[in-house]
Structure 1
Amino acid sequence: MTYEGWALILLFIALIVALAKPMGLWLFALYEGRRTPLHHVLGPVERGFYRLAGIDPDEEQGWRRYAVHMLLFNVAVLLLTYLVLRLQDVLPLNPRGYAGMGADGAFNTAVSFTTNTNWQWYSGEATLSNLSQMLGLGIQNFLSAASGIAVAFALFRGFARREAKSVGNFWADMTRATLYLLLPICIAYATFLIASGVPQTLAASIDATTLEGARQTIALGPVASQEAIKMLGTNGGGFFNANSAHPFENPTALTNLIQMLSIFAIGVGLTWCFGKAVGDTRQGWTILAAMLFLFLLGTAVTYWQEAAGNPVFHGLGVSGGNMEGKEVRFGTAASALFTVVTTAASCGAVNAMHDSFMPLGGLVPLFNMQLGEVIVGGVGAGIYGFLLFAILAVFVAGLMVGRTPEYVGKKIEARDVKLAVLAIAVLPLVILGLTAIASVLPAGLAGPLNKGPHGFSEILYAFTSGAGNNGSAFAGLTAGTPFYNGLIGIAMWMGRFFVMVPVLAIAGNLAAKRYTPATSGSFPTTGGLWIGLLVGIILILGGLTFLPSLALGPIADHLAMAGGQLF
C-alpha cells in the first residue's frame, strides 16, 4: 500500500460526503413534488406525458395500488425488452447484422435490465445491435433506476406521514426521477465522456492498422450515453465485454474517478433526503456514517490484499502487488477502490477482473453483495435496504431499554419487524438455495472454469450478484447456458421484487401510524452508539448467514494459497 493509494481513497470519501447534501436537496424537491429550475423547460414534457397516459399525478395511492402499478409497469417493459432482443435481426440500426437472441438469453437479459442488475453473459459489442443497446437496454437503465428511487420515496413517506392511507403516486415519482434527475445529469455526463474520448456514434466499427502492419477492426457505437446512465443509475452493464476496463468506456484516471463518484452520488443523496423527509437531517448523516464505516473497512481489506500480492509468487522471487486482471493505468489502489464501490452499490461495472483478485480481496465484493448492498447501495434500493436493517436494529434496541421500539417518531411493531425479516430473508434463501442446486447438478458444475474452492466461489458469486441485483461476475463462469440463464434470471427477479413489495407494505403500515415523540426512555437513533448497533446488526446477520459458504469458497482458497497451493 502507498500514501498515494490512501490519498485517493480518502479523497473519494471526502467528495462523497460533500455530494450528499446538494444531491439530497435536489432529491428532496422531487420527493415533495416541488418545482425546480428545470421545470421551466421540462414541465410541459411532464404534463404532456401525464395527459397522454391518462394519469393524474396528484392522485395518491395506497401501498397495494402503488405496488401493483410498479409491478405491472416492470412486467410491461420486460416484455418490450425481450421482444427487441429476440427480433433485433429484423429491426433497424443493426449495422453488424447480428442475429436475434435465443429465448433463454433474451429472457435473462430482459430480466437483468428490468431489475437494475445488468448481468451480461455475452459480449455486448459482439451480440447487440445499436437499437438493442439504446431501446432495449439504455431505456431500461433509466426506468429501473427510477423505479428504485420511487420505492425509496414511498418508504420515506411511510416514516414521514401521520395517520395517512397513501404513500404517493408511483407514476409521478418515477417520471420526476427520470425527467428532472437522471436525464439532465446523464446529458451533461455523456458530454463529458465524449470530450474525454468515449465514442458516441451509430457507426458499426472502424478499421485500424497496427504497428506491425496488421488490420484490426475496432467496434464503435453509442457508448457515452450508455456509460453515463450505467454509472449514475448503478446499472453496470457495459457496452463492451471488458466493461469499465475498456479504454472506450473508461479512458483516463479522471473518468475513473468520476465514474466511481457517479455510482455513489444518488445513493448518498438519498440518505440526506431521508433525514430531511423525517424532519431530522441528523438521521440521514447517521445512516451515511454507518454506510461509510462499512465501506472504508471493505476498501482497506481489499486494498491491503491486492497491494500485498501473492505469497506463492513472492517465494519464486516475483515481488509486488497483484496486478493480474488489472489495468496498468489504474493500478492496485484505483482497482481495489472501484471494486468495493461497484459492489457496495448495486452497480456491476468493473475496471478489473474480480476473478483475478486475491481470495480475501475477492471475498469483500462478494460479502458486500450478500449484505444486501446496503453500503450506499443501488439508487433507492440501498437506502430502503438499509432501513430494513434499521428497523431490526431499533427492535433490538427496544428490547434493551424495555419498551416499544421507536424510529424517527414511529413505533416499530410486530408487523413491521415481520415484513423486514421477510424482505431481508429473500437474498440468503435465493443465493444459498440456487448455489446449492448449481453445485450438485451436472449442468451447474459444467459452468466454473476452476475446480475446488475457487470454482465454488464462481458459482456463489454468480447467484449473489444476480439476487443482489449487482451484475458483476467472477468472470470464470460460463453462464450463457439455458441452466444458468434461467436460474440467474429467477434470482434477479426475486432479489428485486420480492424485496420491493414488503418494503412498500412497511411504508403503508408506517404511514397509517400516528407520530410518537421521543422520551427519556427512547433509544437514541443518532450518534456513535446507534451507528455501532447498526453496523453490528448488519455484520452479524451477514456473517451468520453466509460464513459457511464463504468458508467453502474464498476462505478455503486463501488457506490453500497460504499453504502453497494454487488453483
Structure 2
Amino acid sequence: MTINAFLLIASFLLVLLVLAKPLGLFIASLIEGDMPRFMLRTEAVIWRCSGLKQPGREMAEMNWLRYALAILLFNFLGFILLFVLLVFQDSLPLNPQKFSGMNWDLAFNTAISFVTNTNWQSYSGESNLSYLSQMTGLTVQNFLSAATGIAVVFALIRAFSRHSSKTLGNAWVDLTRITLYLLLPLAIVFALFFVSQGVIQNFSAYILSDNLNSSAQLLPMGPVASQEAIKLLGTNGGGFFGANSSHPFENPTALSNFVQMLAIFLIPTALCFAFGRTVGDNKQGNALLWTMAIIFVIAAATVIYAEYIGNPFLNNFSANSTANMEGKESRFGILSSALYAVVTTAASCGAVNAMHDSFTALGGMVPMWLMQIGEVVFGGVGSGLYGMLLFVLLAVFIAGLMIGRTPEYLGKKIEVREMKMVAIAILVTPTLVLCGTTLALMTEAGRAAIFNPGAHGFSEVLYAFSSAANNNGSAFAGLSTNTPFYNIALAIAMLLGRFGVILPVLAIAGSLAMKKPQVATMASLPTHGPVFIGLLILTVLLIGALTFVPALALGPIAEHVQIWLAA
C-alpha cells in the first residue's frame, strides 16, 4: 500500500508540473497583454460585434473599484439569467424528458451556486434539468464563474508587478481573454479526450434498457463530456448526474479518473508559475508551489492511511479486512478515491468519485479541513492563488512583528490598510461556516434535515456550510438540504463566501498597485526560501486550528474516539 500510494501521488504531481509550467507561461502573457497578433485581431472583431465603436477608449484600464463593480455586475446578470432559465425550463426547448421548472428556492440556490463557482446541487441533474438548462445555464456559468476567479487573481498579480499605478487592467478584457484563449481551448481538448474514454455526448432521449436482472432500467443520456471538461478545469464541481464522477457515464475508466484529477489542479498550478513569471521572480511562484505541495501530500497520505485502517469495530464481526471500501467504486479502489477526495476539496471543485459521507471519521475530516482553511492548497482557479497570497501577506506581517523585519512582500510594504483587508478576507468564511452551522443546529428546520444522530450528524451540517462558504460544492450525503431553510441559508453562505473575499482582495490590489517598491535591505525578509515556506505552512495551519479545531472536536474527532473506544 505504501509503495503504491507513493507512486500514485508522485506520478500525479510529476505529470501535473510538466503540463502546468508551459501553460503558466502562456497565462503570464495574458496577464501582461503580450499576445500574438491573431488573438488581438479576434478581440477587435468581438468588440465591434458588441457595438463598441471605440474599443481602445471604452476598454481602458480600471481602478480597483471599477474593476470590482464590473465583476459584480457581470455575475449579477449571470444569476438573473440562470434563475429565470431554471424556473421556466418547462416552457423552453431541448427538454426531451419534459422536466418541470424548479421551485423558486431551489432555483435561487442553484443559480447562486453556479455563479459563485460552488456548484452545490440539492437535486439530481439527470432527474430535474433539461439539456438546455444543463448547457446554456450550468455549463456556460462554469466558464464564466471560473473566468471571474482568474480575472481577480490577474488584477492582484498586476498589483505586485506594477509600480505607482492606479489601474489593475480591464475586467471585460480579462474575462474575454480568459474565456476565449484559456478555458475554451482546454475544455475542447479535455472533452474530446473524455469522449474517447466513453463519456457520453449526445442529445438523445433517455433509453429504456434491460439490466442484468432482466428488469427495465432507464439510462440517462445527454451532453455530458462538454460539461464534464469545464466543471473540472474551472474547479466548478457539480455534475450532469447525481452520482457525479462516480457515474460510469461521467468517469468510466481509471485513466479518465487520473486525467480528471489533473484537470482540477492544472490551472491553479499554472497560475503559480504565471505569478512568478509576471512579478519577475520565479522563486516566488516556486515557494507557493512548495507550500501547497507539502500540505497536499500530508493530507493525501492521511486520508489514504485512514481509509486503509478502516473501521476497527468490524474486527468484532471477524471481518477479513478493515479497509474501508464503503461508498467507493471498486474500479477506483481506496487509493484513487482517497486522492480524488483530497484533490477536489483542496481545490474548490466539489466533484467526487466516492461518497465522502462514507469515509472514516478522520478520512472525512481532512477534506472538510482542506475546505475550511480556504482551499488554498492549489485551490480553485484564481481563488486558490489569491487565497494563498492573503496568507503570505499575513505571514510577512507576523514575521515583522516577531523578529523586527520590515513587513513587505515583493518590495511592497504591507501596512495597516492591507492588513485590515487581509483580516476581513480570511475571517469571512470561518464566520459564515460557524454561524451557519450554529443557526442550523438551533432551529427545528435545520435539525429536521439531519438523518444521522450524534457526532456524525453534526459533521454533516458542518461539512455543508464549510462547502458552501468556501465555494466547494461537495457534501456529506446524510443531510437533506433540498428544503427552503437550507436552500436559502446555503445560498447566502455561497454568495458572501465568494464576494466577501473578492472585494477585499481587489481593495488590497488597488492599494498595492499604487505603492513604489522598496529596495531590499538586510532587514527585508526573504520570501522564497525554506524558512519562509515553513512559516507560511505554519500560518495556514495556525489559522485553521484557531478557527475550526473546537468544531472539529465536536464532529469527526468525537466520532473517531467513539469508534475506537467501541472497538
Q: Residue 466 of structure 2 corresponds to which residue in structure 1?
A: 464
Structure 2 distance, partners of 1:50, 1:87, is 27
Deviations 1:413-457 (A, max 9, x none): 110111000110101110000100001111000112201000000
Q: Residue 275 of structure 2 corresponds to which residue in structure 1?
A: 274
User: Once the 2 structures are TM-superposed, how far is the Cα of residue 53 of structure 1 from its aligned partner?
Assistant: 9.4
Change (3 A) 1:356 1:54: farther
* Residues 125 and 241 in structure 2, CA contact (< 8 A), matched pair in contact too: yes
Structure 2 distance, partners of 1:280, 1:212, is 62
Alignment of 1:74-473 (within 5 A): 74-318=75-319, 319-473=321-475
* Residues 156 and 506 in structure 2, CA contact (< 8 A), matched pair in contact too: yes
Structure 1 distance, partners of 2:543, 2:79, is 33
Alignment of 1:439-518 (within 5 A): 439-518=441-520
Change (3 A) 1:218 1:53: farther
Q: Secondary structure, in 3 states, of the residue corresponding to 1:439?
A: helix
Deviations 1:354-373 (A, max 9, x none): 00000000000000000000
Change (3 A) 1:80 1:460: same
* Residues 29 and 36 in structure 1, CA contact (< 8 A), matched pair in contact too: no
Change (3 A) 1:511 1:103: same
Structure 1 distance, partners of 2:267, 2:463, is 26
Change (3 A) 1:391 1:96: same
- Normalised by the length of structure 1, the TM-score is 0.97
User: Once the 2 structures are TM-superposed, how far is the Cα of residue 40 of structure 1 from its aligned partner?
Assistant: 8.1
Change (3 A) 1:103 1:387: same
* Residues 429 and 469 in structure 2, CA contact (< 8 A), matched pair in contact too: yes
What is the identity percentage for the equivalent residue pairs of Structure 1 and Structure 2? 54
User: Once the 2 structures are TM-superposed, how far is the Cα of residue 52 of structure 1 from its aligned partner?
Assistant: 5.4
Structure 1 distance, partners of 2:38, 2:268, is 21
Deviations 1:225-257 (A, max 9, x none): 000000000000110000000000000000000
Q: Residue 15 of structure 1 corresponds to which residue in structure 2?
A: 15
Q: Secondary structure, in 3 states, of the residue corresponding to 1:563?
A: helix
Out of 540, 553, 565, the position equivalent to 1:551 is 553
Change (3 A) 1:53 1:473: farther
Structure 1 distance, partners of 2:45, 2:25, is 23
User: Once the 2 structures are TM-superposed, how far is the Cα of residue 304 of structure 1 from its aligned partner?
Assistant: 0.2
Deviations 1:158-203 (A, max 9, x none): 1111011011100011110000000011111111111111111111
Q: Secondary structure, in 3 states, of the residue corresponding to 1:89?
A: helix
* Residues 236 and 347 in structure 1, CA contact (< 8 A), matched pair in contact too: yes
Corresponding position: 1:526 with 2:516? no
Corresponding position: 1:561 with 2:567? no
* Residues 198 and 249 in structure 1, CA contact (< 8 A), matched pair in contact too: yes
Change (3 A) 1:406 1:251: same
- Normalised by the length of structure 2, the TM-score is 0.97
Q: Secondary structure, in 3 states, of the residue corresponding to 2:280?
A: coil
* Residues 231 and 259 in structure 1, CA contact (< 8 A), matched pair in contact too: yes
Structure 1 distance, partners of 2:420, 2:430, is 16
Deviations 1:100-145 (A, max 9, x none): 0000000000000000000000000000000000111010000000
Change (3 A) 1:90 1:211: same
Structure 2 distance, partners of 1:308, 1:17, is 31
In structure 1, stretches of 5+ residues that fail to align are none
Structure 1 distance, partners of 2:542, 2:402, is 17
Deviations 1:430-489 (A, max 9, x none): 000010000111100011220100000000000000000000001111000000000000
Deviations 1:316-365 (A, max 9, x none): 21114100000000000000000000000000100000000000000000
Q: Residue 25 of structure 2 corresponds to which residue in structure 1?
A: 25
* Residues 404 and 413 in structure 1, CA contact (< 8 A), matched pair in contact too: no
* Residues 203 and 220 in structure 1, CA contact (< 8 A), matched pair in contact too: yes
User: Once the 2 structures are TM-superposed, how far is the Cα of residue 400 of structure 1 from its aligned partner?
Assistant: 3.1
In structure 2, stretches of 5+ residues that fail to align are none
Structure 2 distance, partners of 1:449, 1:93, is 36
Q: 1:439 is matched by which residue type in structure 2?
A: L
Q: Secondary structure, in 3 states, of the residue corresponding to 1:212?
A: coil
Change (3 A) 1:203 1:436: same
Q: 2:314 is matched by which residue type in structure 1?
A: F
Structure 1 distance, partners of 2:36, 2:455, is 53
Structure 2 distance, partners of 1:122, 1:501, is 30
Q: 1:480 is matched by which residue type in structure 2?
A: N
